[in-house]
Structure formats: C-alpha cells, structure tokens
Structure 1
C-alpha cells in the first residue's frame, strides 16, 4: 500500500525572514522553472511553517524572492485547507470586511486587528505547473490574502493605520528578534 507523502516531511527548516529584512519587502519573482528545485522549496516551506506553528508561509519569508506560498489553515467551519500555490494571483475578494487579529511568522509574537475580506479566490499553479484555483472563506480567506500580500512585498502592518500601526511597529522595534 502506498502512502501519500506528508508535506514538509522531506524539507528542511530554514531561518525565518524578519520584518525589516529587504527580501520581505520586495516584490517576488515569477517562477519559471518547475523542477526539483521548486519541489524542494515547497517542502522547505512546509517544514518551516510547521516548525514555527504557522498556517501559511510565503517563499520570501525564508529568504527566497519567489512567487510561492504554502498553507495548512482551517476556515471558520474548521475545515482544513492544505496546499501550495506557485505564481499566485489574488483574483477575487468580497463579502464582508472584517477586522480580526492577524499575526505573521516574520513578526513573531505580535498581532493587530487587520481588515480583510471574508472571501478570497487565488489562482496559480502547482509545483508541476498544473493550474489551480483556491477558494477561501473566513480565516482561510484571511490567510490567502495575507500570503498574497507577502508575494507583493507587503506585510500586514502595511495595511494598518493610526494607533494600531503605531502600536505594532513600536512593539516590533522593542522585540528581541528585531532585525
């Protein structure tokens, strides 16, 4: 009997890119090579995400400026969504805009109320180049929007304004992990 491979089981845990490091704040490059290197990157993303206890992780969060992210995230009905997207494009958002607590593995231990739509659709492809469309609602929609932001060189603090933004940036400046 063949068992499906567990995502990240063959990957290595890589250091996380932290707020302020240039690779986190630049737009990622389109993926053009769909070979073993890309498969290794996806495996490393899963391994690193699981080690850090996250629900999503973009390639630039481990220092690779490539348009790739992985996720293992529940929606609001506690349905698990597991996968990856290469060259993702956020093609639709809608529904209600909700402000909810949002954190990021690149800002460990911090979070802030961030506005996101409760519905999102991402299109892209798999590591083998097959087209994929991912629909998310609730918390999973938040995750998809968050990871697509990373691909564009943005972090959730870029979406904050006023006292919320000032507070989380002050906390980041005092954090023991600051870059």
Structure 2
C-alpha cells in the first residue's frame, strides 16, 4: 500500500480493534534507549498488543506526538505517531503504528527544536529532513506501506525511527550549545 500526503491511516487503528494498556515511559539513561531494537514479526500477537499499548500511552501523555517501543522498555522496532492538532503539523496521516520502518528517501534538511518524553528536562536543535519517504509494515495485517510526508510529521517519524535504532535526539544535536532546559508551564 502506498500513502500519499493527506491520506489517513486511521482505518488501520479501527481494524486493530485491540485495547491498549498504558505503560510507564522510561527515561535516559535507561540502557534500553541505547540499544537498537529487534526486527519484529508484525503479525505476532505480542507485537499487535505492543502497538495498541504505544497508542494508549501516547494518548494519555500531553503533547506527545510519537512513542517508540524502547521508550516503554521494549527493545523492538515499533513506534506510534500522531501529529493531529499540533500547531506545526501541515501534513497529517492521523494515528498509526509502523514496524521495522526505514527512511528510504530524505531531502530538504532543516534544523528544528525537539523534545522527548524519555528526556523530560531538555530540548535540542536537531537537523533533519523536512521531506521523507518511509517504508514500514502495519502491525496486525502485516501490510507493507510506503509513506511520503513532510514538515513536522517527517521530523516525528525520523525521531521515532532513531529511537528504534537506539538513538536519542541528544545523539543528533550539534553540541551542548544546541541543548536547552525545557520550559515548565504551570
């Protein structure tokens, strides 16, 4: 299946029809965050449950636009993304989970500020492609897809793919000068 910008993957979530459990999010320097996740079988019931858990955890986490399996303690190449409603999002594919995703094309590199639930006290400037083509597999059906996106959603996908590879945004910043204390709003 190929998804062009503007096509929603929301139907996939309905087909999953599996309730997710909210899992605790691990913080750096937990070693699971520094390990490359294992390639998974997207049709494995444990992977389908993990996918549902990622979505459930993401939904109860204010401001969260993506969550990868290592962030909930699972060393696996699975992540959820949903940039719906984010003020920086232009291209939005809704809520979706991908397994074993890779970036196959990346263009238009731009710096941008990133934060992470696993690094709760810092944000940082990271240079990423603002247009990407990503290939992955939908959990449950095992259907391969190719997703083309740009802007904020492209940044979120690259951030989560990095998590699956054992990288944090801290590994991508140019140096200490590009790190900032996260603002706390009361």
TM over 0.5: yes
**Partner residue, 1:146:** 159
Aligned length: 165
The answer as to whether partners of 2:38 and 2:75 remain within 8 angstroms in 1 is yes
1:17-76, CA deviations, whole angstroms, 9 ceiling, x for partnerless residues?
Answer: 111101010000010361321111001000111111311111011000111111111464
Measure the CA separation in 1 of the matches of 2:32 and 2:55: 19
**Partner residue, 2:8:** none
Shift of 1:7: 7.7
Shift of 1:120: 1.1
Any gaps of 5 or more consecutive residues in structure 1?
Answer: 173-179
Residue 124 of structure 1, aligned match among 115, 136, 148? 136
Does structure 1 residue 68 correspond to structure 2 residue 78? Answer: yes
Secondary structure class of the residue paired with 1:110: strand
Inter-CA distance 110–86: structure 2 relative to 1 (3 Å threshold) = same
Shift of 1:8: 9.1
The answer as to whether partners of 1:58 and 1:69 remain within 8 angstroms in 2 is yes
1:75-108, CA deviations, whole angstroms, 9 ceiling, x for partnerless residues?
Answer: 642645321111111111102x221110111112
The answer as to whether partners of 2:54 and 2:69 remain within 8 angstroms in 1 is yes
Q: Please show how residues 38-53 of structure 1 align to structure 2 within 5 Å.
A: 38-53=47-62
Residue 40 of structure 2, aligned match among 11, 31, 37? 31
The answer as to whether partners of 1:8 and 1:47 remain within 8 angstroms in 2 is no
The answer as to whether partners of 2:91 and 2:149 remain within 8 angstroms in 1 is no
Q: Tell me the TM-score normalised to structure 1 length.
A: 0.83
Measure the CA separation in 2 of the matches of 1:63 and 1:23: 6
